[in-house]
Amino acid sequence: MSHAAAPSFALFATVGGRARRGLIAAVVLLAIVWFGGLEYRGLFQPDEGRYAEISREMLASGDWITPRLNGLKYFEKPPLQYWATATSFALFGEDEWTARLWTAVTGFLGLLFVVFAGNRVGPPSAGSIAGLVLASSCAYFLSSQYLTMDMGLTFFMSGALLAFLLAHEGGPPVKRGWMLLAWGAMACAVLTKGLVGIVLPGMALAVYVLVQRDWRLLRELEWGRGLLLFSLLALPWFITVQLRNPEFFDFFVLHEHFARYTQPGHNRPGPWWYFAVVLLVGMMPWTPALAGVVRRSLSARGGSRLEVDRLLLIWIGVVLVFFSFSRSKLPAYILPVLPALALLMGRDVSGAPTSP
């Protein structure tokens, strides 16, 4: 290196160091806000109390296969979050903070993954802007402070989407690794809340392939290794719980999935536009920017084979349409849309031409 270049290099290193320290400080501050208020209110009924009690009984009984509530079998949801919360109770004691810890952790990690993936996929700073949007969106932040299954589902489903995007940023070894992570994330999504964990990502990819007519994508999904990994992660609990409880399949699959989706009677009605309103409220304070972002994303064309904006829009559309047809609606069902929408906004802002 020449003597003339040394000062400029030193200046670059100093700026880079300051930027890194600023980023670390921002993450620490966000973590304090994110985790600091988890224990300053009692558990809301019925959801928070129910999920905390199931986890407590799992830890007390030592039966990590069959969830129970007040001693009765409870098959409405798979066990991954119960396992995580029971482990939190075992490590740190039983209180509101530990009951909500898994929800807060998955929300925080999901936020960091959006920043990482968005910056890698580009344009530069797209992920950082998306992280700011997502962290300050009222629905995402509030859902990370409340004990339900939906934030964990959002983390794993969004992880599958982001891993798929990252798989197209490198050569074959990198692609294989990210694709296997996508399969693993879908397995964890299924263990969190059931079949939607693989049905919705599969539907979004199928629609994208049909729209783009890019059939080669189907050959790049690491089917052999991916299905093996998915099976090793997801199937053991389902097989074991069915063997121990012959009534599990009828209740979990037929009643909790098909009947809940297609039939009324769960006291969760809503018109077809229900989730559109929830989304507009949930994205506050960024709601006024949504129309412009979606409009520009519809006309965007990427420089690579994978049209990232179009895939994100399809993901958002598939989740919205799927739950809009459901006969059982809750506001938190729309959470898996928010990371993709935040990433669209980050890409739109960072890719917008600057004025001279």
Whether residue 2 lies inside any domain: the answer is: no
Question: How many domains are there within the chain?
Answer: 1
Q: For helices 290-299 and 308-324, what crossing angle results, to 10°?
A: 120
Position 3 pLDDT exceeds 70:
no
pLDDT at 261 over 70: no
pLDDT tens track for 200-217: 999 999 999 999 898 888
Residue 43 vs residue 232, higher pLDDT? 232
Residue 16 falls inside a structural domain: no
Alpha helices in the chain (DSSP H): 5-36, 47-61, 80-92, 96-121, 126-136, 138-144, 150-167, 172-193, 196-212, 216-219, 223-244, 248-249, 260-262, 274-282, 290-299, 308-324, 337-351
Measure the CA–CA gap between 144 and 282, rounded to whole angstroms.
13
Asked if pLDDT for residue 354 goes beyond 60, the answer is: no
* Predicted structure pTM score: 0.89
Domain assignment present for 17? no
CA–CA distance, 144 with 130 (Å, rounded to integer): 17
Q: Which residue has the higher pLDDT, 191 or 274?
A: 191
Position 191 confidence tier, pLDDT thresholds 50, 70, 90: very high
Quick check: is 232 in a domain?
A: yes
- Residue 168 is assigned to a structural domain of this protein: yes
- Over range 255-259, report the average pLDDT: 71
Of the listed ranges 88-92, 165-169, 188-192, 221-225, the one predicted with least confidence: 165-169
Residue 10 corresponds to which tokens in the numbers above? 């030193």
Count CA atoms within 13 Å of residue 207 on its CB side.
18
* Residue type, position 205, single letter: L
User: Is 313 within a domain?
Assistant: yes
Residue with tokens 């939607």: 196
pLDDT tier for residue 6 given thresholds of 50, 70 and 90 = very low
Q: What pLDDT does 102 receive?
A: 97
List C-alpha distances in Å: 199 to 16, 55, 75, 129, 275: 43, 27, 20, 29, 19
Mean pLDDT to the nearest integer, 79-92: 97
Domain that holds residue 129: 99-348
Does residue 38 lie within any of the structural domains?
Answer: no
pLDDT of the residue at 39? 86
Query: Is residue 270 domain-resident?
Result: yes
Of 12-16, 67-71, 217-221, the one with minimum mean pLDDT is 12-16
Higher pLDDT, 221 or 14: 221
**C-alpha pair distances (Å), 186 with each of 10, 179, 201, 213, 224:** 45, 11, 8, 24, 15
- Residue range 119-124: average pLDDT? 87
